[in-house]
C-alpha cells in the first residue's frame, strides 16, 4: 500500500504525461508561451459555445505540429467496412468559414 500513485488534477480534471518526454506537461499553467520539446499547445473544446463556463469540457493537447498545418487526410481502404453515408465519404479536413461582412 506504500506504492500508491495518484493522478494529478482537481475537480475530476486530470493530467497525464508521456513518460518518454518528462517535464513536457507544464505545472500550474495550461498554455505556456514556450512548450518543452518544441511542442505546440492547442485547446480542444467538447462543449457548445453557448454552454455556461463552469460546465465547459476541454482538453489541452501538446502536438508536434499545429492541427492547421497537417496534410489533408487520405481515404484508407476498408474492404469489410462500409458506411453508406449517401455514397459520399465525409471530409475530415479542415474547412474555413468566412462570415459575411457586417454592413
Query: Which residue is it, cell 484508407?
Result: 76
State residue 32's pLDDT score.
74
pLDDT band at 6 (very low <50, low <70, confident <90, very high): confident
User: The whole model's pTM is what?
Assistant: 0.55
Phi then psi dihedrals of residue 10, to 5 deg: -145, 140
Encode pLDDT of 30-58 as tens digits: 667 788 888 888 888 777 777 787 777 77
Task: Find all residues with CB under 8 Å of 70, minimum gap 6, and list them.
Answer: 94
State residue 61's pLDDT score.
82
Cβ-based burial of 32 (10 A; exposed 0-12, middle 13-18, buried ≥19): middle
State residue 17's pLDDT score.
81
Amino acid at each position: 500500500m506504500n506504492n500508491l500513485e495518484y493522478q494529478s488534477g482537481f475537480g475530476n480534471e486530470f493530467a497525464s504525461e508521456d513518460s518518454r518526454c518528462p517535464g513536457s506537461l507544464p505545472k500550474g499553467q495550461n498554455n505556456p508561451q514556450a512548450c518543452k520539446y518544441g511542442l505546440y499547445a492547442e485547446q480542444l473544446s467538447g462543449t457548445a459555445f453557448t454552454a455556461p463556463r463552469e460546465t465547459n469540457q476541454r482538453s489541452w493537447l501538446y502536438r508536434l505540429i499545429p492541427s492547421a498545418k497537417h496534410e489533408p487526410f487520405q481515404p484508407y481502404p476498408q474492404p469489410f467496412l462500409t458506411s453508406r453515408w449517401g455514397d459520399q465519404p465525409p471530409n475530415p479536413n479542415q474547412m474555413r468559414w468566412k462570415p459575411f461582412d457586417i454592413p
